[in-house]
Amino acid sequence: MAANACKYSRRRCRSDCIFYPYFPSNNPERYACVHQIYGANNIRNILQQLPIHLRVEAAESLYYKAKCRIEDPVYGCAGIISQLHQQIHNVESQLAKIRAQTAFLNSNAHEMDSNTNNPIQRYSNIGQSQFQAP
């Protein structure tokens, strides 16, 4: 079975093809995206310069970045990263508001508890209850 890169360039796929493990023929979109953005020679150079154990991650990264660049030619991955940072900022703001509300409600609840446990308040209510009609 030939690598997509070899099929794309109409070359015979050799047994030591650098593209085959990362761009197999059963997923043609993967290589087409990467080739459109980087070109075959650049992909080959990138993969050859890396140790074998890092090539899978590099191929995944190249594909993801190429796909993002095709979907958003201006910002690519940077646009997604910016959106994620904005979402993080919004969630942090919401969390700060909720924490402030929780602290406020806890302080009010504590204040109410301390008022009912106040001995002066308790004894002042005793005299009032004696004079109420049955």
| Per-residue pLDDT at 132 | 52
Contact, 62 vs 34, CB < 8 A?
yes
- The residues spanned by each domain of the chain are 1-71, 78-128
Question: Cα(57)–Cα(63) distance, rounded to whole angstroms?
Answer: 10
| Per-residue pLDDT at 10 | 74
Residues for the chain: how many in total?
134
Backbone angles phi, psi at 3, to 5 degrees: -75, 155
Convert 103-119 to b/e letters by CB count within 10 Å (16 or more is b): eeeeeeeeeeeeeeeee
Backbone angles phi, psi at 37, to 5 degrees: -90, -45
Q: What pLDDT, in 10s, does the model give residues 64-115?
A: 999 999 999 999 999 999 999 999 999 999 999 999 999 999 888 777 766 6
In this predicted structure, the answer to whether residue 129 has a pLDDT above a threshold of 70 is no
Q: What pLDDT, in 10s, does the model give residues 6-57?
A: 776 777 777 778 888 888 778 888 888 999 999 988 999 999 999 999 999 9
